[in-house]
Amino acid sequence: MRLTPGGVRELHWHATAEWAIMPTGKARITNIDDHGRMFVADVGVGDLWFSLRASCTQVDCAPCIGTRTRTNGNTTSAGRAE
Q: What is the CATH number of the domain that holds 49?
A: 2.60.120.10
pLDDT in tens, 1-50: 566 677 777 778 888 888 888 877 788 888 998 899 998 999 888 898 88
DSSP per-residue letters across 21-64: EEEEEEEEEEEE-TTS-EEEEEE-TT-EEEE-TT-EEEEEEEEE
Tell me whether residue 2 is in a domain. no
Give the total number of structural domains in the chain: 1
Higher pLDDT residue, 18 or 75?
18
Q: Which domain holds residue 48?
A: 8-77
**Is the sign of the CA dihedral 4, 75, 47, 35 positive or negative?**
positive
Tell me whether residue 59 is in a domain. yes
C-alpha dist (Å) from residue 48 to 21, 35, 36, 62: 4, 22, 22, 17
- The answer, as to whether pTM is greater than 0.75, is no
Answer whether residue 68 shows pLDDT above 70: no
The number of beta carbons lying within 10 Å of the beta carbon of residue 47 is 16
